[in-house]
Amino acid sequence: MIAISSRTRTPFTILAALIFLCAGNLSLSVDTAKAAGPTFADPANTDDDFPIQGEYVGEVKHDGQPVRYGVQVIALGDGRFDAVGYPGGLPGAGWTPPNKISGKGQREGNGAEAIVKLEGIDWGGATRKGEIRQGAIVVLSESGEEIAKLPKEKRVSPSLGKKAPEGAVVIFDGMGTSTDTAKLADGRVSEDGLLMQGVTTKDAFGDALWHIEFRLPYQPKDRGQGRGNSGAYVQGCYEVQMLDSFGLNSKQDDCGAVYSVAAPSLNMCLPPLEWQTYDIEFTAPQFDGDTKTTNARMTVRHNGVVIQENVEVSKITPGGPQNQMKPLGPLYLQNHGNPVRYRNIWVLPKS
């Protein structure tokens, strides 16, 4: 059972009513690249679990005082869900690591009448129950009475739609004004005007600020590296991972990681098929002739929150178009076989 400090134990006992406590990581952490089920790239064409998956925020009264918390609900296919509760609020919006509670739920029925049954055991060993219905998590008392409600919430990155500043180079607009891929090698655009994965900028860049907007597909039955995988390879060799890591304990290969170098300090991944942003401040490696004198560095903001702060990157990530470190390099958006979509990509060179 997950340990909760004595400082937060009592106020959040009711939170256990929502979810089943379990040890270890969520089942999503299983690492496999095999596609186990359907892939949805269009929010208008999904399944009965998709409207339930997402983030819920609300307050529960304890000793007459409101206590705020957030819950992330993750679809696993066939009406099964994982749930993660965050005392204080959602990641980046009130939660203070590391305390959180993990659990499970099962859907009954379809469409607007669907209910997800959540069952758990509190810290005292008592069985508690809750439900997801009509767009909210309902906390139930032992007698089945409603004692709190957490409405579903849709968060939007504060840098979503950010316009390219003066001096920036627009790589791909895709914001309803242009779908021009002239600055990209192998540029392909979907039927709805979005950039598809597997493209490389024709130009090379050094020190720069990158803005990238991306949307991960919904693959409820897939796991690990097979679930919405792509990556932004700055200079063609330093990867900031893109992956459906919503609700996970982030590692060095999850969304927001500098791949194989540094896990994100906070998992800011939103649910699949929501638009997300990376704002990457990149400092290129320096050379004296052919000898590297300083390593590359990155600061990464994911959906407006710093998750990598001036991280030193001493090695390249395999799979990019540039297989060695150089003063300049292109941006590569990886094709890992999943339909990741992009728009509003621009770069502001520092010099």
From CA 216, how far away is CA 346, in angstroms rounded?
19
Residue 12 has pLDDT above 50, yes or no: no
* φ, ψ (nearest 5 deg) of residue 327: -65, -30
Average pLDDT for the chain: 86
Residue 6 has pLDDT above 50, yes or no: no
Q: How many CB atoms lie within 10 A of CB 96?
A: 11
Provide the pLDDT confidence category of residue 3 given band limits of 50, 70 and 90: very low
CATH code 2.40.128 region(s) in the chain: 6-153
Q: What residues pair up with 279 in beta bridges, in sequence order?
A: 211, 301
From CA 242, how far away is CA 231, in angstroms rounded?
5
DSSP string across 60-84: EEETTEEEEEEEEEEEEETTEEEEE
Residue 178 has pLDDT above 60, yes or no: yes
pLDDT digits (tens, 9 = 90+) for 248-272: 988 889 999 999 999 999 999 999 9
Residue 279 has pLDDT above 90, yes or no: yes
Residue 11 has pLDDT above 80, yes or no: no
**What is the predicted pLDDT for the residue at 161?**
96
For the residues 43-48, what does the mean pLDDT come to? 94
Residue 126 has pLDDT above 90, yes or no: no
- Quickly name the fold that domain 6-153 has: Lipocalin (2.40.128)
User: What superfamily in CATH does domain 169-349 come from?
Assistant: Exo-inulinase; domain 1 (2.60.120.560)
Structure tokens at 88: 């204080």
Which of 14-28, 140-154, 217-231 comes out lowest in average pLDDT?
14-28
Provide the pLDDT confidence category of residue 196 given band limits of 50, 70 and 90: very high
**What is the predicted pLDDT for the residue at 13?**
42
Helices (H), the chain: 6-9
From CA 88, how far away is CA 86, in angstroms rounded?
6
For the residues 232-252, what does the mean pLDDT come to? 94
